[in-house]
Amino acid sequence: MSEAITLQEKRPAPSVPKDAAAVVLVRGDAREPEVFWARRGARLAFQPGFYAFPGGQRDEADAEVGVENADDSEAASMIACAARELFEELGVLAARGAESLTKGQRESVLDDLTSGRMSFAELLGHYGLKLDARDFRPAGRWVTPPFSPRRFDTHFFVVRCPAKQEPRLLTEEFDEGGWERASEAYERWRRFELMAAPPVIHAVRTVAGGLTEDLTERFLSVPQARREPVRRIEFLPGFVCVPLRTPTKPPATTTNCYVVGTSDFVIFDPGSPYEDEQEVLSEFVRELQDGGRRPLEIVLTHQHPDHVGGVERLREEFGLTVAAHRLTAEELEGKVRVDRLIKEGELMELEGDPSIRLRAMHTPGHTRGHLSFYDERAGALLSGDNVVGVGSVLIDPEEGNVRDYLASLERYRRLPRLVALFGGHGPAVGSPSAKIDEYVSHRLKRERDILAAVRAGAGTPEEVVAQAYTDVHPKMHALAARAVSAHLIKLEEDGLVRRREGGRFTANT
């Protein structure tokens, strides 16, 4: 591929993972246990709409909590973190001695903790309670991949819910949740009823296998549960995200390639121009092939270099055809050969268990030939670069068009069922409707701000940026000026501003 390949690679540093702990709270029969999980709020910055377990980042004070039978001080502080988060988020106090407290006493302990009157260590000491490592069975340690702006190195623990304590959602973090048979929780994910990150799905599936002696070993049976990098992320059955390092627009450092299908499969946007990353993808495809599955085609959402940089390698190695919208094919002429054109409304049927049926949508805005793909039953939308999981979307004229873009977002909004949105960059979004609404209101607010700036005398995109983009880093001002141009074109068409001689804009009154 063109320039992207010869680009000097400047690697932006992904953020450093922070220590965190999560609790897989279980109860009931050891052969058919129940697990407590809950859906994260739709507007949270990290994993909005995902099903998850209680947990959070380690506090400095967690190191002061004594934990009996812990291997070392590091393990002790992570157990303290897990116990504190479990208590703060669900009101469950997994400490020895807690059974002798009345419900009212537990409430006042919680109140002392959350109000900051006493630290967790002080409270445990005051009431004669003890944390014991034997109550916290290690269940692996997962590191959030670099495609996420927030990253955690999360220690998972399985904790049996203490008798006579009933978890309840105490924080804003979760909007609904409860006990569920682990096997049913896993099946609901299989039926596309909810979305969750790989460690959570791995946990419910493992717990569904029973609370056996070898529980920890079964948790650790996948390398990602031992801090190995997570390169393939199956957010929904058959929708695997493979974030690959690309020369893309910060803060993103990767572009998501999606491998979709539960039997034969399609590869969307193999974008990395870097050989080591291309090899990561090829290795995955070879593994699937070895398992008897066939790659059918490479599909492109649009022509940007960070979405097509790995096409040729994949085409050659697996003898695949490449499909895209006609307008994308035209842009790629002389760079990447497109063998098949995809039209609005075309249906891609991928047999398997479950089967996947992707409907192509022509959704211009970011580029003219931009395609999105939607599976109604799965509630899954591949949104390309129209809506992304990290950073913002650039509408850059001439290929970018604000009016088209808003119309495309409106089409997304009207989709009948949305469980997960898979953008071209960053983590998937488990609250697609809230995310799309946020994008629409952000665009409309920008438009109002730009119009106000022109009314206040700003006459060029640069002057508008200086007035209206005070929240944007000066480094990004050149890009912002292009985005402003896109808005000014629309405002001009709307009759709200006009371009005068010399190119300066003024507001129509």
Q: Which residues bind Zn ion (CB under 5 A)?
A: 304, 385
Nearer to Zn ion, 90 or 242 (CB): 242
Instruction: Write down the least CB distance from residue 486 to Zn ion, Å.
Output: 14
Please report how close the Cβ of residue 433 comes to Zn ion at its closest, in angstroms: 23
- Measured from the CB atom, the residue of 131 and 371 that comes closer to Zn ion is 371
Of 106 and 302, which has the nearer Cβ to Zn ion?
302
- Residue 52 or 329 with smaller CB distance to Zn ion: 329
Question: In the bound complex, what is the minimum distance in angstroms from residue 392's beta carbon to Zn ion?
Answer: 12
Residue of 342, 283, 348 lying closest to 313 (CA atoms):
283
Contacts of 115 (CB under 8 A, 6+ apart): none
Token pair, residue 392, equals 């913002």
Tell me whether residue 135 or residue 385 sits nearer to Zn ion (CB atom).
385
CA distances from 385 to 307, 316, 376, 472 (A): 9, 26, 20, 20
Nearest distance, CB of residue 305 and Zn ion, angstroms: 9
Measured from the CB atom, is 456 or 478 closer to Zn ion? Answer: 478
Shortest CB 252 distance to Zn ion, Å: 10
What sign has the CA pseudo-torsion 471, 473, 477, 479?
Answer: negative
> Which residues lie closer than 8 Å to 487 by C-beta, 6 or more apart?
395, 402, 446, 447, 450
d(CA 332, CA 307): 12
Phi then psi for residue 295, to 5 deg, are -75, 130
Query: Residue 422 CB, nearest distance to Zn ion (Å)?
Result: 15
Residue number, 52 or 388, with CB nearest to Zn ion? 388
SS3 string of 411-477? Answer: HHHCCCCCCEEEECCCCCECCHHHHHHHHHHHHHHHHHHHHHHHHCCCCCHHHHHHHHCCCCCHHHH
Pair 443, 402: CB distance under 8 Å: yes
The sign of the dihedral angle between the CA atoms of 274, 279, 284, 288 is: positive
Q: Is 231 exposed, middle or buried (0-12, 13-18, 19+ CB in 10 A)?
A: middle
Q: How far is the CB of 393 from Zn ion (least distance, A)?
A: 8
> Cβ closer to Zn ion: 270 or 459?
270
Distance of closest approach, residue 307 Cβ to Zn ion, in angstroms: 6
Specify burial of residue 157 (Cβ count, 10 A radius: 0-12, 13-18, 19+): buried
Residues 261 and 298: their CA atoms lie apart, in Å, by: 13
Q: Contact 140/226 with Cβ under 8 angstroms? A: yes
Minimum distance between the CB of residue 388 and Zn ion, rounded to whole angstroms?
9
| Euclidean distance between CA atoms 259 and 280, whole angstroms | 13
Smallest separation (angstroms) from Zn ion to the CB of 348: 21
How far is the C-alpha of 79 from the C-alpha of 94, rounded, in Å? 10
C-beta of 62 vs 385, nearer to Zn ion: 385
Which residue, 61 or 406, is less far from Zn ion as judged by CB?
A: 406
Closest approach of Cβ 396 to Zn ion, in Å? Answer: 9
Residues 6+ apart with CB under 8 A from 208: 33, 181, 182, 183, 185, 186
Question: What's the min distance (Å) between Cβ of 304 and Zn ion?
Answer: 3
Least distance between Zn ion and beta carbon 248 (Å): 8
Burial-class residue 167 by CB neighbours within 10 Å (0-12, 13-18, 19+): buried
Question: For residues 51 and 194, is the Cβ–Cβ distance under 8 A?
Answer: yes
In whole angstroms, give the CA distance from residue 243 to residue 274.
Answer: 13
Q: Is 145:137 a contact under the CB 8 Å cutoff? A: no
CB closer to Zn ion, 395 vs 415 = 395
Q: Which is nearer to Zn ion, 225 or 300 (CB)?
A: 300
d(CA 508, CA 497): 5
Q: Which is nearer to Zn ion, 385 or 404 (CB)?
A: 385
Report which residue type is found at 327: L
